[in-house]
Structure 1
Amino acid sequence: MKPSARTQFIEAGLRLYPQYGYRKLSVRLLAAESGLSAGMFHHLFTGKDAFIAKLWQQHYETTFGSIDFISDGHTLPLEQLRHTIRLLAHALRDNLDWVNRLFADSSDGVAAADIFLHHHAAQYSDRLYDLLGKCFPNMAFSDLVSRMSYILSSVITPMFLAVRFDNMGILPEKVRTFTPDLLTDEAIEQRITWAFSTLSA
């Protein structure tokens, strides 16, 4: 069964957004990619802002929205946190082109990107700090912030920096050769092991 015109436009946007971003993703490009008319786009969506917001939300729900914060009452908080960090790292790794584009749009002054990032980052931040607080119930919040910063910078930041620096062409060739290795499941698991070993010490 052929997807609806709305779905075709959304699927076209999902393919094109990482390449073009908010400012360059035009109705003309979407129409050409979907094989539909610009008039059909304007009939289905109230405007580009509404379309982009729908695009971001759909992508979020099918990728980051499925991250499981274990709360079954049987898993120790530290294992819950480790599990969540692993899922978050994999979701970010698998969507680096999207996330980097969204950050670039935010840096470029796209207010809608700021709002979207703030809303969803706040949701994750609250849940991660709740888990970390359960791991260290008597710890001052300032110390929890330091520990969370350490975890995220150890596990997740290398993926962003490796790709960004590689795209900028500023990595030495001998380092650039190994950049893809930072994105493997094994490398993510190794960084998680190192980070949590230090965290538990």
Structure 2
Amino acid sequence: MTTIQADEVKIMNGVTSAQFISAGIHFYPRCGYKRLSEQAIAEHLNSNLETFNRMFADKDEFVKAMLIEYSNRALGRVSFDFAQNIEDTERLYQIVWRLAVTIREHLAWIHRMLLDSEEGVDLITKALKKQHKMLACGMIQHIKACNGRENVSELALFNQFEFLNGAVISPMIMNTRYRMLGILTDEMNGRHEDLLTDSSIHQRIDWAFAALFPHYRSKARPF
């Protein structure tokens, strides 16, 4: 992933571009793209709009930098090169677990990006598509490795990815969205937080792996 190097950070009037970006990350989940105000961000840092405009050519350039930095922070623990010395299926398990925890910790940000994309913010849609492609390609590559020497078609690999994603990741995103919309049943709403615990995530991964990789034996996990 692209990172913002230290020598790219601009400093003007005692405020750095990194501080502006961090402030944007703070406000974005509440405001979204359209209500994310350059003026409000500048005032939050006791700076001014003129300083902001000298650092960033326009709002889209700022939001792009903000998205790159946030992606670096949020997905920093999700690496597809993780623990290459362990067995393929166990490595995929650990990758899915790390991804699930990352998704859980950033649900507010994810929902805001989905809303912005739905409202036609092309910049956000492109960022979501890029992230999905990166994660999907990485996961499918590891799913293929877990199938060993079996000749698995591309369609079957896509289907396995969709099954795994639908079993582990999608419920957190969709149920949180349903809760925000007020359409969960009272019983499901009352247990929503329980379904986001480490133990519940591990349980969903175990069920998915039992279906996809019957040879895999789940290890005892500290909850």
Question: Which aligned pairs between 1:13-24 and structure 2 lie closer than 5 A?
Answer: 13-24=24-35
Aligned to 1:107: 118
Aligned residue pairs: how many? Answer: 199
1:103, 1:122 → 2: CA distance?
16
More helix by share: 1
Q: Name the CA shift for 1:73/1:175 in 2 (closer, same or farther; >3 Å).
A: closer
Unaligned runs of 5+ in 1: none
Residue in structure 1 matching 2:168, options 147, 155, 169: 155
Q: What code does the residue aligned with 1:31 have?
A: A
1:88 counterpart SS class? helix
Residue in structure 1 matching 2:48, options 37, 41, 60: 37
Aligned to 1:123: 134
Question: Which aligned pairs between 1:184-199 and structure 2 lie closer than 5 A?
Answer: 184-199=197-212
Q: TM-score, normalised by structure 2?
A: 0.84
After the TM superposition, which parts of structure 1 deviate over 3 Å for at least 4 consecutive aligned residues?
70-73
2:82, 2:64 → 1: CA distance?
30
Aligned to 1:171: 184
2:81, 2:199 → 1: CA distance?
22
CA contact (8 A) 2:104 2:196 kept: yes
Q: What code does the residue aligned with 2:18 have?
A: T
Residue in structure 1 matching 2:86, options 75, 79, 86: 75
Percent pairwise identity:
28
Aligned to 2:154: 141
**Residue by residue, what CA displacement relative to the aligned partner does 1:38-78 show, whole Å, maximum 9, x if unpaired?**
11111111110000000010000011133122465432211
CA RMSD of aligned residues (A): 1.5
